[in-house]
Amino acid sequence: MLYHLLVPLSDKFQVFNVFRYITFRTIYAVVTSMIICFLVAPVFIRWVRAYQVRQYIREDGPQSHKAKAGTPTMGGVFILFAVAATSLMWANLASSFVWVVLLVGLGFGGIGFLDDFIKIRRRHNKGLSGRGKFLLQVLIAGLAGGFLYWLPEFDPTLTVPFFKGVKVDLGWGYIPFAIFIIVGTSNAVNLTDGLDGLAIGPFVFSMATYLILSYLAGHAKIATYLQIPYVPGAAETTVVCGALVGASLGFLWFNSYPAQVFMGDVGSLSLGAVLGTVAILVKHELLLILVGGIFVLETVSVIMQVGFFKATGGKRIFRMAPLHHHFELKGWPEPKVIVRFWIIAGILSLIALSTLKLR
Ligand code: 57M
């Protein structure tokens, strides 16, 4: 909004020229969405307490989680509100990339909201059916993938880290690939969100990494110098990434141990889907394996545990999956598990950025 209102006035008021710059608008998108979270979260937490929108703890979980029963949940509602309001305020709304990210986030947030709402209404930790949730996710991700595939200025080919200039043309197969990335990342973040701040911490590192990558990919000279694909229009995605980073930091303020609020599926599904979508938009999809390494590790631990459990008639590789529960049951205090996962997430983000030079 501010971009459209103030840049045209920059002839008369020179100072408004600053609103042309993506760096300026991104910095203030981070600050704005964090402040919105600081203002809205306390009101939201009081409201959900009053209306009993509280977490039901599964019986088969770690005993330490019993104390968490009743923690307000669905904090993802104010994360999404902060991101949407900030993007509308600071982003160039003529950018189709901005709308793809926002609509995927709101779509997956709607699925998560429905899931959380059913859990609360039925007073236990089982919400939407797995199949129903999955089909809705595939539908929204498919619409996003299809839109990008047919978007004239978007090149629907796959780039490979470390190999400059290598492009894999999947043809219309790009659409199921995009669905896999978006739905996979969404569910990976969802699985990870099992300890206070455990999902949002690595998400801040991942989204900050893609904030940098979207800025680099969106500028022809920089992209050419780094020999990464130049993606016209990707730079504007940087502003939405800024809103996501700011809202995540604002949420972490309240979700840090001991959590005053959980994000709920409305938060984890939407944030994961948005991370996958941005990775596709800036054409660094495969790098997500590194940037989102914590989410990958957590998901792989579940696949290994369930697979081994079925193959051996009940034996387990880990004490419990996902991986964070394994360390909890090994006796690591919750904060130690959380901060160590953050440290790994930060290192993985740095290594991912280093691949820009390793080409
Ligand atoms: C998402 N949700 C948390 C909260 C959060 C196949 C199987 C691996 C699936 C997996 C599962 O149920 N995943 C769903 C994890 C839940 O958090 C809520 O869900 C939202 C995110 N979707 O925002 O609203 C619990 O996590 C804890 N929590 C915190 N702090 C936070 O900031 O402490 C969440 C956020 C909350 C709270 O206790 O209630 C969850 O874990 O359900 N299943 C599991 O993760 C279960 N693992 C399992 O079944 N392992 C088996 C399988 C793989 C064979 C095994 O290893 O043998 C474990 N999770 C729990 N109890 N809580 C074990 C059972």
- Distance between Cα 343 and ligand 1 center (Å): 22
- Distance between Cα 58 and ligand 1 center (Å): 8
- Distance between Cα 191 and ligand 1 center (Å): 7
pLDDT exceeds cutoff 90 at 214: yes
Alpha-carbon span 28 to 53, nearest angstrom: 32
pLDDT recorded at residue 164: 75
Terminal CA-CA length for the chain: 39
User: How far is residue 14 from each of residues 11, 20, 27, 29, 265, measured CA to CA in Å?
Assistant: 6, 11, 20, 21, 45
Top pLDDT among 61 and 69 is at: 69
pLDDT exceeds cutoff 80 at 62: no
> Which of 213, 241, 248, 255 has the alpha carbon at shortest distance from 72?
255
pLDDT recorded at residue 75: 96
Average pLDDT over the chain reads 93
User: How far is residue 195 from each of residues 13, 150, 184, 242, measured CA to CA in Å?
Assistant: 49, 40, 20, 24
The share of the chain scoring above pLDDT 70, in percent, equals 98
For the segment 323-337, the average pLDDT, to the nearest whole number, is 96
pLDDT exceeds cutoff 90 at 93: yes
pLDDT tens string 21-31: 999 999 999 99
Angle at the Cα of 172 from the Cα atoms of 168 and 174, rounded to 5 degrees: 50
- Distance between Cα 325 and ligand 1 center (Å): 9
Residue whose CA lies nearest to ligand 1 atom number 28: 194
The pair of three-digit structure tokens given for residue 240, joined into one six-digit string: 């939405």
pLDDT recorded at residue 221: 96
Length in residues, the chain: 359
DSSP string, 332-353: --HHHHHHHHHHHHHHHHHHHH
Alpha-carbon span 192 to 184, nearest angstrom: 12
Alpha-carbon span 359 to 356, nearest angstrom: 7
pLDDT tens string 248-304: 999 999 999 999 999 999 999 999 999 999 999 999 999 999 999 999 999 999 999
Phi, psi angle pair for 54, to nearest 5°? -125, 160
- Contacts of 82 by beta carbon, 8 Å cutoff, 6+ apart: 33, 34, 36, 37, 40, 243, 246, 247, 250
pLDDT band at residue 197 using 50, 70 and 90 as cut-offs = very high
The share of the chain scoring above pLDDT 90, in percent, equals 79
Alpha-carbon span 231 to 223, nearest angstrom: 8
Across the chain, where does the E strand assignment appear? 157-159, 167-169
Alpha-carbon span 248 to 348, nearest angstrom: 19
pLDDT exceeds cutoff 70 at 55: no
pLDDT recorded at residue 242: 98
For the segment 188-195, the average pLDDT, to the nearest whole number, is 98
Q: Which ligand 1 atom lies nearest to the CA of residue 112?
A: 22
pLDDT band at residue 56 using 50, 70 and 90 as cut-offs = low
User: How far is residue 128 from each of residues 87, 113, 140, 280, 322, measured CA to CA in Å?
Assistant: 30, 10, 16, 27, 20
Residue whose CA lies nearest to ligand 1 atom number 5: 264
Q: Which ligand 1 atom lies nearest to the CA of residue 326?
A: 56
Report the amino acid identity of residue 156. Answer: P
Q: Which ligand 1 atom lies nearest to the CA of residue 198?
A: 32
Phi, psi angle pair for 275, to nearest 5°? -60, -45
Residue whose CA lies nearest to ligand 1 atom number 9: 191
The pair of three-digit structure tokens given for residue 125, joined into one six-digit string: 């930790």
CB 166 within 8 A of CB 228: no
For the segment 108-130, the average pLDDT, to the nearest whole number, is 87
Verdict on whether the full-model pTM lies above 0.85: yes
- Distance between Cα 40 and ligand 1 center (Å): 26
Pocket of ligand 1 (CB under 6 A): 55, 57-58, 60-61, 65, 68, 73, 125, 190-191, 193-196, 255, 259, 262-265, 268, 302, 305-306, 309, 316, 320-322, 325
